[in-house]
Every structure is written in C-alpha cells, then in structure tokens.
C-alpha cells in the first residue's frame, strides 16, 4: 500500500469511528501551496454523514488522524478543507520505495492492448510542422499507455492514392526530365513535393489563361490541361494501367525513403503501416453490404449515403454516383481491417487535427450502425494547429514550415547557444554533436507537447531553446546537474541502501519527495486524458523543486551521514523520474551538459 492509499484507508477508518458510517468516495487533492500540508480532504460532501458543519467535520477528522495514525503529524482547516501535514517518516518511506523500484511510477504488463495511429501523411509532399506535433503526440501517448501496462500497437495510414498524388505525377511527367532524388541531390519527399508545387503554379496559370478566353472559373478549373492530365492519370491508376502504376510506385517509393529519414530524426516509429490503396476496397465492400441491409440508402443518381440526422448530424455521401469511394470509405475499411489484425485491442486512438472532428464523429457512428460494437472504443485525439512567429523560420515552399528544416534549425540553434554558454568542455566532437541533437530536438518536442493537445499553440523557437523557464533544455540541464552530483558521490564511494526513519527533513527535501510521490498518479492521469502535457508540466515542476532544494540545502558538506544518504537518494530518484518522464515525451536527457 503506497502513502496515498494508506492515507485514504486511515480517513475511512476515522469517518467510521467518528460518525459510524462508511465513506468509500471522497476527494483527496494536493494542498494549495499557500497553506501548510501536502494532502487536502474536501469535507463538504462528508457533512451528510457527520451531520455537522464542514469546518467542525474537518477538525474532528484532523484530530482523530493526528491521534490515531502513524502518518499524520498535524493539520489546519480552511473553511471545509482539511489540510494534512504528514510525518517525515512517511515521506522517507516514499523516498525509500521510489529508490528501490527500477521503474517507479510505471505499472507491469496488464495484458491489455491498444492501438495508436499517428502521422498518416499524404505521399505528395514532405512532412511539416503540423506533422511534428502529430507524431510527437501519438508517439508520446503510446509510451504513456505502455507505462500503465498496455501493449501498444503504433500504426499509420498512408494516404497513397487519389488526385493529390496524381498532381505530382502529372507535373513530373511534364517538367521532370527524368529527375530522381539521386540526380537532384534532394530527399525523395522534397522532390515529389517540389512537383506538387510546380503543378499548382501551372494550374493557376492555365486557369487564368482560360478565364481570359471567357471561360468561367468553375469550368476552367476542370478543363485546365494539367488538371486533365492528373485526372487521366487517376483513371488509369484505378484501371491498373501498368505504366501509370509503375510511376506511382516509383514516386511513392521516393517519398517513403524521405519520410523514413525524417521519422528517424524525429525518434518515432511504427509497428505496422496501412495504405489507403489497400483499404479503400474493403471500405467500399462494407458500404455495399450496409446498403443491402438498409443501413444506408441510394439516391437517384446512384450515389450511396448514410442519414445521421437522428444523431444530430446530417446526411453523408459514402460512394459517389460513379461508384468511386470518398475519404471516409477508406477509413471504414481501415478501422475494420485493424480490428481483424489486432482482435484484442481495447480501442483505437486516432491522432488527427481538430479540423477533422466532424469526420470522426461520422466515422464512429457509421461503424456502430454497421454493427461493430468496438466503434464505441475508438477515440479521436484531436489537436490544435501550430503557429509560428512570422519570419522566424524559413519555409521550403513559402506556405508551410518543413519538418526537416525546422529540426535542422533547432539543432543549429542548440549548438550555438551551448557553445556560447561553454557547456561542452571535455566532450569529444561526436559527444558534442549528440548533445546538440538531444537539446535541439528535446526543446522542440517539449514545447510542442507541454500545451494541452486540444489548444491551438504558438511555437516560439527562440523561447523553446532557453536553459531557463518552462523548457525542455531546463529539465535536461537539471538532469545533467544531478548526474554530476551522483558522479561525485560515486567518487566518494557513497552508496545508499536504506534510509533511517528518524531524520528530520528540510522543507525543500520534503517538497521534492511530495512531487515525486505524485508521479504514478500523473502517468495514469495523462493516459486517461490522452495528454502528454500533463507529464511535461509535471516533470518541469519536479525539476524546479529539485533546483530549489539544490540551492537551499548543502549536500557534500553535510556532516550527518544519514542526512547525506537521504540527499543522495533524493538526487538519484529525481534523476530517474526525470529520465522516465522525459522518455514518455520521447526526449533523451544528457549525462553531461
């Protein structure tokens, strides 16, 4: 039984003794920093049991806990809130347990499984800033679920078919002169993206030329020669024309190689890839089955629709009049295929921007209407857009911020600042290079993950890289500082095995242990909310508290061996939890900095 469980048990006993009644459900929360104590019992709901006012109820429970338990040393009452002060021996037992556990705060395998989808790019352009937030969120949520005992299947759906792919193919056929990633010296995804931009440029020009001939905007958009070529390529692809399919495979292959390099630098990976070109046919088949069963209906033009007006939504097309599928058709097929591939998963988490919220409401409703009970276990991890201060970062195409460019510039900025601060003394060239990568990408990930996923955010590259403030480098530097302390302890042959229970803790020591004690619950809370921001805020608070302890309390000048051991143990556990928590965010922490 951990400290929080012990305290809850003692409160239940107190309520039973004082009021001859049980209280299985009550609210125990962290004490407001302006009051003394660590745990606060909200006593207002208990007045129904006590038949007394909230303040008197709080005082009676507080007195009983001080008198009859081994964990509570004092209390104070603020209105109906009972703030509890725990004994130092209780905090030392927390520290001892955390010191002993290798994976403190993380749960053993539970046998439960979950699937997390993220990234899911189109194969017509490179990954951008929005994809960075997407990938970091999905990967981090996966790690958080692993930490609470789940087996996690990381997947993505690659949108490898459709008119957007054919646009890049059309432009390459017209203007490419057989250019390849090797001949151009460009990453494959950037090369294909270049031709997507080229298509758009010529398409707009042709539309204007047609409009000058008196053709309307709507007709010009359809009749522009380059769009006609892209549409023809799409028809040929769907007819499995050998030459068209061969070009499609070649250009997608270039993109996949480029994506792989970007993912490697991001530090994300996938267990299984799904391709829209494989799953859309299954989706189409399911829609036709649903039509036969009366789940869907057909309009006069032959198109197939679902009516969701009774669910507060509207009618949604599932198959066009010509029988071709729409985007949601592919998603129906993908969801079904995944539950076939992984029948034991408790649900699917879709990491997709908040502009798709309506789409996922519709998707989950359709799956439910098709009779798939697991549809209720699907969750849309919706996140807001990322904005940049204007002029801060260059964009390869002038419209979006390229992920490769942004990561490279963050590492360059990390190198510049680290060199200016003289933080690379004693490091080899290779060690310094790894440190710059660790700091630059750590700063980027931390800044993108510290904000609640649902919120739109402003990413400030300069602010994110600072060694002070709510940043990844601040937490990384704290870890490096602690590791330096632990190296000195090793040199002095200080080894901590057990901690005495009669030591009086300093205020700053107690406060660090209180934060450490919250780690297991924070991991569970982050999983329940699908929010890495909870972990980022927690680990920043821990680093901040440790730094205050470091400034307030001497370590190696302490003459009492028992107190010295407590401070070394405190440092060891803090470093361990920082490493684990940052690991949940996909961020490595340095040994030296």
* pLDDT in the model for residue 399: 61
Q: Which pLDDT score, from 0 to 100, does residue 400 have?
A: 73
CA dist., res. 173 & res. 188, Å (int): 16
The strand order across the sheet containing 345-353 reads 272-275, 151-158, 113-117, 345-353, 379-383
Cα–Cα dist 458/473, whole Å:
18
**What per-residue confidence (pLDDT) applies to 396?**
46
What the block records as the tokens of 235 is 């028809």
246: which residues sit within 8 A by CB, 6+ positions away?
A: none
Give me the chain's average pLDDT, please.
Answer: 94
Burial class of residue 33 in the structure, from the number of CB atoms within 10 Å of its CB (0-12 exposed, 13-18 middle, 19+ buried): exposed
Domain boundaries along the sequence of the chain: 3-86, 159-270, 276-383, 403-584
Q: What is the pLDDT of residues 368-416, one digit of tens each?
A: 999 999 999 999 999 999 987 764 444 444 567 899 999 999 999 999 9
Per residue in 438-447, pLDDT tens? 999 999 999 9
Q: How high is the pLDDT of residue 8?
A: 95
| Whole-angstrom distance, CA of residue 259 vs CA of residue 396 | 16
pLDDT in tens, 553-573: 999 999 999 999 999 999 999
DSSP state string for 232-246:
HHHHHHHTT-HHHHH
**3-state SS record for 506-550:** CHHHHHHHHHHHCHHHHHHHHHHHCCHHHHHHHHHHHHHHHHHHH
Flag the least confident range among 186-190, 382-386, 462-466: 462-466
Distance between CA atoms of residues 402 and 225, nearest Å = 29
Q: Helix or strand or coil: residue 86?
A: strand
Question: Tell me, what's the pLDDT at 521?
Answer: 96
> What's residue 420's pLDDT?
87
Q: Where are the alpha helices (DSSP H) in 461-517?
A: 461-464, 472-491, 507-517
What are the beta bridge partners of residue 386? 457
| CA 326 vs CA 242, 332, 362: distances in Å | 24, 10, 13
- Class of the CATH domain delimited by 403-584: mainly alpha
Which CATH number is 3-86's, of 3.30.1360.70, 3.60.15.10, 1.20.1050.10, 3.90.190.20? 3.30.1360.70
358, pLDDT greater than 80: yes
Cα 146 vs. chain centroid, distance in angstroms?
13
User: 283-342: per-residue pLDDT in tens?
Assistant: 999 999 999 999 999 999 999 999 999 999 999 999 989 888 888 999 999 999 999 999
Average pLDDT on 105-110 reads 96
Encode pLDDT of 48-90 as tens digits: 999 999 999 999 999 999 999 999 999 999 999 999 999 999 9
Alpha carbon distance 383, 451 (integer Å): 10
Closest CA to 569 of 486, 475, 476: 486
pLDDT digits (tens, 9 = 90+) for 474-523: 999 999 999 999 999 999 999 887 786 678 999 999 999 999 999 999 99
- Residue 487: closest CA among 426, 433, 434: 426
């Amino acid at each position: 039984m951990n400290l929080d469980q012990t305290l809850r048990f003692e409160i239940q006993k107190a309520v039973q003794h004082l009021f001859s009644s049980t209280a299985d459900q009550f609210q125990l929360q962290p004490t407001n920093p302006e009051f003394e104590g660590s745990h606060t019992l909200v006593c207002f709901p208990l007045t129904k049991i006590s038949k007394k006012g909230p303040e008197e109820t709080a005082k009676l429970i507080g007195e009983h806990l001080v008198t009859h338990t081994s964990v509570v040393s004092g209390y104070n009452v603020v209105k109906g809130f009972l703030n509890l002060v725990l004994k130092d021996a209780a905090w030392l037992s927390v520290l001892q347990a955390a010191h002993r556990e290798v994976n403190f705060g993380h749960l053993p395998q539970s046998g439960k499984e979950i699937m997390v989808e993220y990234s899911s790019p189109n194969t017509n352009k490179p990954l951008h800033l929005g994809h960075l937030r997407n990938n970091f969120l999905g990967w981090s949520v996966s790690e958080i679920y692993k930490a609470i005992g789940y087996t996690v299947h990381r997947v993505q759906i690659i949108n490898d078919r459709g008119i957007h792919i054919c646009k890049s193919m059309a432009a390459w056929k017209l203007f490419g002169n057989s250019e390849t990633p090797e001949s151009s010296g460009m990453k494959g995804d950037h090369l294909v993206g270049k031709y997507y931009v080229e298509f758009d440029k010529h398409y707009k020009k042709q539309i204007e030329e047609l409009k000058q001939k008196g053709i309307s905007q709507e007709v010009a958009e359809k009749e522009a020669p380059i769009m006609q070529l892209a549409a023809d390529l799409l028809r040929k692809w769907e007819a499995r024309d050998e030459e068209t399919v061969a070009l499609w495979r070649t250009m997608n292959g270039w993109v996949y190689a480029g994506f792989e390099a970007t993912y490697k630098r991001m530090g994300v990976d996938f267990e299984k890839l799904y391709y829209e070109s494989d799953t859309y046919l299954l989706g189409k088949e399911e829609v036709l089955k649903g039509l036969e069963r009366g789940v869907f209906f057909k309009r006069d033009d032959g198109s197939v629709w679902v009516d969701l007006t009774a669910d507060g939504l509207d009618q949604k097309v599932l198959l066009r009049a010509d029988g071709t599928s729409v985007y949601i058709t592919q998603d129906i097929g993908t969801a079904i295929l995944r539950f076939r591939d992984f029948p034991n998963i408790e649900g699917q988490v879709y990491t997709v921007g908040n502009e798709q919220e309506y789409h996922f409401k519709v998707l989950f409703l359709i799956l439910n209407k098709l009779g798939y009970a697991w549809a209720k276990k699907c969750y849309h991890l919706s996140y807001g857009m990322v904005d940049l201060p204007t002029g801060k970062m260059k964009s390869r195409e002038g419209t979006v911020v390229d992920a490769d460019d942004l990561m490279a510039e963050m590492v360059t900025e990390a190198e510049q600042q680290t060199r200016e601060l003289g933080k690379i003394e004693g490091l080899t060239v290779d060690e310094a290079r790894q440190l710059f990568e660790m700091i630059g990408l750590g700063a980027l990930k931390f800044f993108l993950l510290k904000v609640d996923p649902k919120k739109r955010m402003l990413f400030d590259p300069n602010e994110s890289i600072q060694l002070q403030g709510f940043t990844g480098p601040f937490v990384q530097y704290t870890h490096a500082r602690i590791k330096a302390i632990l190296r000195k302890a090793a040199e002095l042959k200080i080894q901590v095995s057990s901690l005495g229970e009669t030591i009086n803790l300093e205020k700053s020591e107690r406060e660090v242990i209180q934060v450490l004690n919250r780690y297991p619950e924070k991991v569970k809370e982050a999983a329940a909310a699908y929010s890495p921001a909870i972990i980022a805020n927690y680990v920043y608070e821990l680093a901040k508290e440790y730094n205050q302890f470091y400034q307030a309390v001497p370590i190696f000048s302490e003459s009492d061996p028992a107190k010295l051991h407590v401070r070394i143990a405190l440092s060891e556990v803090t470093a361990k939890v920082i490493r684990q928590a940052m690991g949940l965010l996909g961020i490595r922490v340095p040994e030296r900095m």
